[in-house]
């Protein structure tokens, strides 16, 4: 806190809810029965998942189903609420993706633990592999998000290793040598 703020002369720093992006606010409103912090966490989580699913400019049914499954399991919310959260995250990504991508991911980083960020990274790879192929666009997007989350290259490579067989670049190489 600055001296001016302490004396009541400067601007005060916004609280967490004042810094929420439109995406997070919209989803939190729909999750009004949940604790506000938990709803904010789920909103950001679903939005970041949608960033990867939309890296190739489309959402597959398998990606949406897996995103919903993760929100149900990790959010401990009913499927109907999870469907709504994923749908809003998906819509917001399509409408405001370039504008809010970094902001929502930064917000997720601020409200999550290292374990939760790595859990999200695993979910990002799983969503991108839902249709049995991780495109180079999806992989680049995951790398960007990992960087925004403060996950180093070694952490990224470790998470990616579990999905090597689904990487398009690996699949193309295997086809070329067989």
More confident residue, 58 or 13: 58
* Residue 1: partners with Cβ closer than 8 Å, 6 or more residues away: 13
Q: Is residue 6 domain-resident?
A: no
Using the predicted structure, report yes or no on whether residue 17 has a pLDDT greater than 70: no
Looking at residue 150, the DSSP 8-state letter turns out to be T
Supply the range of the domain harboring residue 141: 19-177
Q: Quick one: residue 57, left, alpha or beta (phi over 0 = left, psi -120 to 50 = alpha)? A: left
Q: What is the mean pLDDT of residues 17-42?
A: 76
1 confidence band (pLDDT: 50, 70, 90) = very low
Considering the chain, what percentage of its residues have pLDDT values greater than 90? 58
Q: Is residue 5 domain-resident?
A: no
Q: Is residue 66 domain-resident?
A: yes
> Which DSSP string corresponds to 51-86?
HHHTTTS---HHHHHHHHHHHHHHHT--HHHHHHHH
Q: Is residue 159 domain-resident?
A: yes
Q: How far is CA 90 from CA 37, 81, 97, in A?
A: 21, 14, 9
8 confidence band (pLDDT: 50, 70, 90) = very low
CATH code, 156: 1.10.3680.10
Q: Is residue 51 domain-resident?
A: yes
- Reported as a single tens digit per residue, the pLDDT across 50-96 is 999 999 999 999 999 999 999 999 988 899 889 989 998 898 888 87
3-state secondary structure of 26: helix
**CA-CA distance, 104 to 48, in Å (whole number)?**
7
Q: What residue ranges in the chain does DSSP mark as E strands? A: none
Which H or E run contains 171? Answer: helix 168-177
In this predicted structure, what is the pLDDT of residue 18? Answer: 63
Into how many domains does the chain fold?
1
Q: Is residue 7 domain-resident?
A: no
Q: Is residue 4 domain-resident?
A: no
pTM of the model: 0.80
Looking at residue 112, the DSSP 8-state letter turns out to be S
Q: At which residue do the structure tokens 């295997």 appear? A: 174
């Amino acid at each position: 806190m600055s001296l001016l703020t302490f004396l009541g002369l400067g601007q005060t720093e916004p609280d967490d809810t004042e810094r929420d992006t439109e995406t997070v606010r919209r989803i939190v409103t729909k999750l009004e029965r949940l604790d506000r912090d938990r709803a904010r966490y789920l909103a950001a989580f679903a939005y970041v998942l949608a960033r990867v699913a939309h890296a190739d400019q489309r959402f597959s049914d398998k990606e949406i189903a897996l995103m919903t499954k993760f929100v149900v399991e990790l959010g401990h919310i009913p499927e109907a609420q999870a469907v709504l959260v994923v749908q809003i995250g998906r819509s917001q990504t399509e409408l405001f993706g370039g504008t809010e991508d970094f902001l929502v991911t930064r917000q997720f980083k601020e409200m999550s633990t290292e374990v939760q960020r790595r859990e999200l990274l695993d979910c990002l790879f799983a969503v991108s592999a839902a249709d049995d192929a991780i495109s180079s666009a999806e992989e680049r997007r995951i790398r960007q998000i990992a960087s925004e989350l403060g996950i180093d290259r070694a952490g990224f490579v470790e998470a990616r290793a579990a999905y090597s067989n689904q990487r398009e670049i690996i699949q193309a190489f295997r086809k070329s040598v067989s």
